[in-house]
Amino acid sequence: ELRGHCLIWHAYQPTWFNSITSATDMETAIVDHITNVLTYYKGKIKIWDVVNEAIDDSSTKTKYIFRNEFLYKALPNYVDVAFQTARKVDPNVKLFYNDYNIEGVWDKSTAVYLFVKDLLERGIPIDGVGLQYHVSVQYQPTLASITDVIGKYCELGLEVHITELDVKCEDKCNASNVNELQNTTYSNALKACLRNSCCTAFLVWGISDD
């Protein structure tokens, strides 16, 4: 199955879109964009990352905070609008929220879990969560931690995809055991996915160590 990435993101947008300040204009732009893209690819792309990286790194284990970017400033409920529009345009496509630094049990990952749980409780259509999984051999979640994160989304009835896995070596690139360290990191990610039946996709972000 083909995955589409992504419908709404704060980065790499045309200047005219970044400049929108009116809530009405922003909602119109989001609805038009999602409608056009999903209509064009209907029946071809089965899964979409609807919104990418909406939650700020300053979020805590008890409170999620939206990125204070132009999307949120113009239309605070833009995430709701995006998911609702996507479901309306193509009821058969699976809708995902995708983010980084949510692979282990820490503040941001817990905040994103609360955010996704809130979407479900408010009836916003969402089918799964994408864990980007950009890590390094020095900074990565433990196998138990990532297994726990995926398991919590399983309990919500959602699918989980590991969407952008890469493993940097940074200052250990010249270490004699760097290959072993990277192998362990990739292995733990795959093991955690296989241990949870709701983890249904495993994607690697490129094939180099850059």
- CATH number (domain holding residue 124): 3.20.20.80
Of 53, 69, 155, 180, which residue is the catalytic one? 53
Would you say residue 96 lies in a domain?
A: yes
Of 27, 103, 159, 164, which residue is the catalytic one? 164
- Number of domains observed in the structure of the chain: 1
What pTM value is reported for the model?
0.95
Residue-level pLDDT at 209 = 60
Please say if the pLDDT value at position 210 is more than 60.
no
155 counts as catalytic: no
Would you say residue 65 lies in a domain?
A: yes
164 counts as catalytic: yes
SS3 175: coil
What is the C-alpha separation between 46 and 94, in angstroms, rounded?
6
Residue-level pLDDT at 34 = 98
Would you say residue 110 lies in a domain?
A: yes
Residue-level pLDDT at 174 = 76
Please say if the pLDDT value at position 43 is more than 60.
yes
Which domain, by its residues, includes 86?
Answer: 2-204
Nearest to 70 by CA among 119, 12, 21, 2: 21
Would you say residue 111 lies in a domain?
A: yes
Would you say residue 38 lies in a domain?
A: yes
Q: Given phi > 0 = left and psi -120 to 50 = alpha, else beta, which region is 123?
A: left
Structure tokens at 32: 């038009």
What does the pLDDT look like over 141-167, one tens digit per residue?
A: 999 999 999 999 999 999 999 999 999
Cα 41 versus chain centre, distance:
20
Eight-state DSSP code of residue 79: H
Lowest mean pLDDT: which of 31-45, 53-67, 169-183? 169-183
**Residues 3-21: what's their mean pLDDT?**
96
What does the pLDDT look like over 76-99, one tens digit per residue?
A: 999 999 999 999 999 999 999 999
